[in-house]
């Protein structure tokens, strides 16, 4: 049990349970000991302020101005569109799912949209469907050079200019990018658009606790101080110099790195809440982009319970033993509508009579985790008493720390993405060649 917003337990990760695919106790203890330099480095980063994500949980000084903007945008616009991709979008999307605005419009809260991809049909359809005169666009690119984001920004700028007067145009856009010379900042200044500074020392996939993730959440009325407070609780034992055995992220890193050496080369994250589906996408980028270097890393796979019990569980239980499973469970017994006994009066339906959909969800969570354990699949269970801003911040900080510590064990840089950058250069070159 932890003193934080979640419980974290592992099963079937050791050789005495699963044989040759598991860790020996000695290997695990050595790996856990080897997390100490990473933990010390994190404390050093905190001391010299060279890794700002470690200071974000304790900060409130940057929120007042953002709240003023958020309140202004909430009152003025019916729709908010985030133009970003990857780390400029996924963290915000994960947090915003807490707002519960997916089911019915709330007049006092704008509808939030995330335009990640550049599928031309989707972009065209969305621009036609939205009342652009009542829409705010948050244009987010850390570097200010992301081709997809720039393209979406420019086409939206033209579309909005066709329906509002020139003096109002600038009010429909906010740009977020790092300081200094870059294309996005230059375009924003040219068009008299507000520019907010993205901290250049915070990588996109680590930016969820910065204005990138929090400003959209603020607009939806979420209490972002609680997001940071949840993160702070998880970070606290690291900064206090606790032993690795008392730090859940260090335990998770040691197990992940150890199992990778035993050919457990994929990691499945499977939350049992629709509101956490976006978190698993955020985690997928965080893990893949941070660790997939120099032939190292494990492949993150996102799944969603109970949906993927019916599409993937057969492989997980009866396929190769090459995956670690992270199941995120939410206590939900008794919640939601109940099955009317009079409608479930057949013997085959007796098990559902009078039960809520939350009862069924909790039974499915427990059943899936038990069958994974019984089939000797490396499994960890993260259990939440409730899903709110605090627990979301805790989960995000846990996974960020776990990723950074695992990178140390793999001897790779968790903050670079050289292969991705090369792909961006080639895309730019392809477009340039088309002009010739």
Catalytic residues: 289, 310, 424
The answer to whether 375 and 315 are in contact (CB under 8 A) is no
Tell how far CA 375 is from the center of its chain: 29
Burial class (CB in 10 A: 0-12, 13-18, 19+), 100: exposed
Neighbours of 343 (CB within 10 A): 10
The answer to whether 314 and 372 are in contact (CB under 8 A) is no
Tokens of 382: 């993260």
CA 122/CA 3 separation, integer angstroms: 44
CA 103/CA 82 separation, integer angstroms: 19
DSSP one-letter string for 285-302 = HHHHHHH--TT---EEEE
CA–CA distances in Å: residue 226 to residues 102, 174, 325, 360, 392 = 22, 25, 28, 30, 9
Considering Cα of 160, then 193, then 143, then 139, what sign does the dihedral take?
negative
- DSSP label of 105: -
DSSP strand pairing (379-384 vs 7-11): antiparallel
Query: At a CB cut-off of 8 Å and minimum separation 6, what does 231 contact?
Result: 56, 57, 209, 393, 394, 396, 397
3-state secondary structure of 87: helix
CA 209/CA 216 separation, integer angstroms: 11
Give per-residue burial for 253-290: e unless 16+ CB within 10 Å, then b.
Answer: bbbbbbbbebebeebbbbbbbebbbbbbbbbbbbbbbb
Tokens of 378: 């490396």
Tokens of 8: 């974290």
Q: What are phi and psi of 378, to 5 degrees?
A: -55, 120
CA–CA distances in Å: residue 189 to residues 66, 144, 145, 170, 288 = 20, 13, 15, 10, 35
């Amino acid at each position: 049990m932890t003193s934080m917003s979640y419980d974290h337990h592992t099963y079937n990760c050791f050789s005495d349970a699963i044989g040759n695919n598991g860790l020996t106790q000695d290997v695990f203890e050595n790996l856990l000991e080897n997390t100490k330099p990473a933990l010390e480095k994190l404390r050093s980063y905190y001391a010299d302020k060279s890794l700002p994500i470690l200071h974000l949980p304790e900060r409130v000084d940057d929120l007042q101005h953002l709240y003023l903007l958020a309140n202004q945008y909430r009152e003025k616009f019916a729709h908010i569109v985030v133009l970003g991709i990857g780390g400029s979008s996924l963290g915000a999307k994960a947090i915003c799912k807490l707002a519960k605005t997916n089911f019915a419009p709330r007049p006092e809260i704008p509808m939030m949209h995330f335009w990640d991809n550049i599928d031309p049909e989707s972009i065209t359809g969305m621009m036609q469907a939205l009342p652009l005169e009542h829409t705010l666009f948050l244009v987010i690119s850390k570097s200010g050079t992301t081709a997809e984001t720039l393209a979406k920004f420019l086409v939206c700028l033209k579309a909005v200019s066709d329906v509002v007067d020139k003096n109002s145009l600038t009010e429909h856009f906010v740009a977020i990018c790092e300081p200094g010379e870059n294309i996005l900042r230059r375009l924003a200044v040219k068009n008299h658009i507000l520019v907010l500074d993205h901290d250049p020392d915070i990588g996109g996939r680590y930016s969820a606790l910065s204005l990138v993730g929090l400003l959209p959440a603020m607009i939806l009325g979420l209490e972002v101080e609680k997001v940071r407070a949840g993160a702070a609780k998880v970070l606290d034992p690291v900064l206090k110099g606790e032993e690795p055995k008392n730090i859940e992220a260090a335990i998770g890193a040691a197990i992940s790195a150890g199992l990778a050496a035993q050919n457990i080369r994929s990691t499945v994250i499977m939350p049992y809440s629709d509101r956490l589906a976006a978190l698993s996408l955020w985690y997928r980028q965080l893990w893949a982009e941070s660790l997939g270097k120099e032939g190292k890393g494990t492949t993150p796979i996102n799944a969603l319970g109970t949906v993927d019990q019916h599409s993937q569980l057969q492989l997980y239980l009866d396929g190769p033993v090459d995956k670690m499973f992270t199941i995120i469970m939410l206590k939900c017994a008794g919640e939601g509508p109940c099955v009317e006994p009079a409608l479930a009066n057949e013997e085959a339906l007796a098990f559902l009579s009078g039960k809520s959909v939350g009862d069924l969800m909790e039974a499915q969570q427990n059943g899936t985790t038990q069958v994974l354990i019984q089939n000797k699949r490396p499994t960890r269970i993260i259990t939440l008493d409730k899903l709110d801003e605090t627990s979301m911040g805790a989960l995000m900080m846990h996974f960020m720390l776990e990723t950074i510590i695992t990178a140390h064990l793999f001897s790779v840089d968790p903050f670079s993405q050289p292969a991705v950058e090369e792909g961006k250069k080639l895309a730019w070159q392809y477009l340039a060649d088309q002009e010739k």
